[in-house]
Structure 1
C-alpha cells in the first residue's frame, strides 16, 4: 500500500491483525505463589492492564479529536492482558472498587519470567 493512498478506516479495521500481543496460556490449576527472596520484596514494579491495540496510520492519528473512537483488537467480554513492567503475565477483568477501577485476576502464569530472579 502506498503511503499516499486514501485510506478507509473501515477497510483497515477489517484487515487481520498481524502482530497482536500474544500470551502463553497459563496452567489451568491454581499454583502456589512463587516464593520471593526477602531482598526482592520491596522492589517496585508497574502493573498494567492492556485493553487492546489498534494499528493506525499517522494520517489517522493526526485526525483524532476528543470525540474520536478507535476500535481495539480485543473482542468485548474477552479478558484483558495483565502486564508487569511490560511483560504479559496473565489475563484479568476490570472491576469497580468504590470510586476507582480495580483488577480481577482471571488467569496467571505459574512462572513469572525474569521477574522473580
Structure 2
C-alpha cells in the first residue's frame, strides 16, 4: 500500500478546537424544552403492512410433526370461542372474531392492544 497524495489520513494532532466558536456556549443554562408540534403522519398511512389473524399455535417436536399424516390432529392452545390474535407484521395488534362479508372471511376487532401502532395516529 503506497502513500499517494490523493489519500488523506486523519491525524489527531491536526484537530484544533480553536477553530470552533464556543464563546456563546453556556454550560449552566437550562436546556430548552423540545418543541411539541403536530407532525404530518399521512405519509405513513400509505405504507403497506400485513394483517394476520392467528387462530392458535402449538410448539411440537419436529419428529412428531414429521410423523403426522393425513387425518392427524394437532391440539392447539386456544379454546373454542376465544378471541383470535390479530397481528400486524408479526406484532400483536389486538383480538378479533371471524365474520363473513360478501362470502369472504373478515374479522371484527374486539380489542386493540395499546401499542406504538395505536398511539401513532393520535
Q: TM-score, normalised by structure 1?
A: 0.62
Q: What residue in structure 2 maps to residue 54 of structure 1?
A: 58
Q: Contact 1:48/1:84 (CA < 8 Å) preserved in 2? A: yes
Structure 1 segments, 4+ long, off by >6 Å, are: none
1:84 to 85, 88, 104: 88
Q: Contact 1:89/1:112 (CA < 8 Å) preserved in 2? A: no
Distance 1:106 1:36, change over 3 A: farther
For residues 78 and 72 of structure 1, what CA distance do their matches in structure 2 show? 12
Please tell me whether Structure 1 or Structure 2 has the larger radius of gyration of its CA atoms: 2
Deviation at 1:95, TM superposition (A): 1.0
In structure 2, list runs of 5 or more residues that go unmatched.
1-38
Q: What residue in structure 2 maps to residue 94 of structure 1?
A: 98
Question: In the TM superposition, what whole-angstrom CA distance separates every residue of 1:27-83 from its partner, at most 9, and x where no partner exists?
Answer: xxxxxxxx9711112100000111111111111110122322211101111101110
In structure 1, list runs of 5 or more residues that go unmatched.
1-34
Q: Contact 1:82/1:91 (CA < 8 Å) preserved in 2? A: yes
Distance 1:37 1:108, change over 3 A: same
**Structure 1 vs Structure 2 CA RMSD:** 2.5
- How do residues 8-23 of structure 1 correspond to structure 2 at under 5 angstroms? none
**Bigger proportion of residues as helix:** 2
Number of aligned residue pairs: 83
